[in-house]
């Protein structure tokens, strides 16, 4: 189980107004802040406040004003787009130590997607105005964070390219490897027999892949017949991750 990024998380879960702050040492685990010094992390942590969210509670919706950045201290969040007819495309599933809403730190534009807690969660909230004052007083922080942000923006571009140019089984293979904990390093793969940590509903998997539930179910069955995966009551085990990756390219 992932360690929470706040002290006394149980207390925070029961009180939105709790005066609990982020632990700078744990905040260093967040990829965006990996290049910051201890002193910079201490200063940043002092500006962040925890807020608890219930399962399925909306954090923000597409079109809302973007005024804050969030780090997941406990629980999980999905970033999604919803069509006018109610169809959902899940862009990302985020776990402890991951973040979202980062563009709010840089521009004054509305939110570009929805953010929803998929289980009871605690998020560390950093408001844009406080962040801008922080980097004004510490210009070196701005350069460090911009370098990190460029990496994440490039990664998002790659995801868009995948969604545009990969066929359905290739997108499904990529998502399965990602959910099983594949590293961003293309030479690293989950071990043979790695099981997705969560019981996956076909509707959620379809939303991640950008396809119908029926189509995803068809290709899951095909992957199982090929000996690439094993399906067991909603759990998915990757029997041959290397062969699954070959299906992407």
Per-residue pLDDT of the chain (249 residues; tens, 9 = 90+): 344 454 444 334 444 444 446 778 778 888 788 888 999 999 999 999 999 999 999 999 999 999 999 999 889 999 988 877 777 888 888 888 888 988 887 788 899 889 999 999 999 999 999 988 998 888 888 877 877 777 666 666 666 666 667 888 998 998 898 888 754 455 578 889 898 877 777 788 888 888 888 998 999 999 999 999 999 888 899 999 999 988 887
| Residue 103: predicted pLDDT | 81
The Cα 4–Cα 97 span in angstroms is 8
Helix, strand, coil tally for the chain in percent (to 5)? 40, 20, 40
Residue whose C-alpha is closest to residue 178's, from 218, 152, 208, 212: 208
What is the structure's pLDDT at 17? Answer: 40
Instruction: Give the residue among 88, 117, 94 at the shortest CA–CA distance from 206.
Output: 88
Spell out where the chain has E strands.
49-53, 58-60, 68-74, 77-82, 88-94, 99-100, 114-117, 121-127, 194-195, 229-232, 235-238
- Backbone φ, ψ for residue 100 (5° rounding): -160, 165
Domain with CATH 1.10.10.10 in the chain: 166-246
What single-letter DSSP state applies at residue 231?
A: E
Q: Give all strands (DSSP E) within 31-67, no chain letters.
A: 49-53, 58-60
Determine the pLDDT at residue 60: 95
At the top level of CATH, the class of 166-246 is mainly alpha
The set of residues, in sequence order, having a beta carbon less than 8 Å from that of 10 and lying 6+ positions away, is none
SS3 174: helix
The pLDDT, as a whole number, for residue 158 is: 65
Distance CA 17, CA 7 (A): 14
CATH 2.60.120.10 correct for 9-164 = yes
Placement of tokens 């290049």 in the chain: 35
Where do the CATH 2.60.120.10 domains begin and end in the chain?
Answer: 9-164
CB atoms closer than 10 angstroms to residue 178: 17
């Amino acid at each position: 189980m992932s360690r929470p990024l706040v002290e006394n998380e149980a207390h925070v879960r029961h009180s939105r107004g709790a005066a609990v702050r982020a632990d700078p040492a744990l905040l260093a685990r967040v990829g965006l802040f990996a290049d910051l010094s201890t002193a910079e992390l201490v200063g940043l942590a002092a500006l962040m406040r925890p807020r608890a969210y219930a399962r399925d509670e909306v954090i923000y919706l597409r079109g809302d004003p973007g005024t804050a950045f969030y780090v997941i201290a406990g629980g999980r969040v999905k970033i999604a787009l919803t069509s006018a007819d109610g169809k959902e495309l899940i862009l990302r599933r985020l776990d402890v130590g991951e973040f979202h809403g980062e563009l709010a730190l840089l521009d004054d534009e509305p939110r570009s997607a929805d953010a929803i807690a998929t289980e009871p969660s605690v998020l560390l909230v950093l408001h844009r105005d406080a962040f801008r004052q922080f980097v004004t007083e510490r210009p070196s922080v701005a350069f460090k964070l911009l370098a990190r942000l460029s990496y994440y923006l490039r990664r998002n571009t790659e995801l868009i390219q995948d969604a545009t140019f990969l066929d359905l089984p290739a997108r499904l293979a990529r998502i399965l490897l990602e959910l099983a904990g594949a590293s961003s390093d293309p030479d690293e793969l989950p071990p043979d027999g790695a099981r997705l940590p969560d019981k996956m509903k076909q509707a959620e998997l379809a939303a991640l892949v950008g396809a119908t539930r029926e189509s995803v179910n068809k290709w899951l069955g095909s992957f199982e017949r090929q000996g690439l995966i094993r399906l067991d009551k909603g759990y998915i085990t990757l029997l041959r991750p290397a062969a699954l990756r070959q299906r992407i390219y």
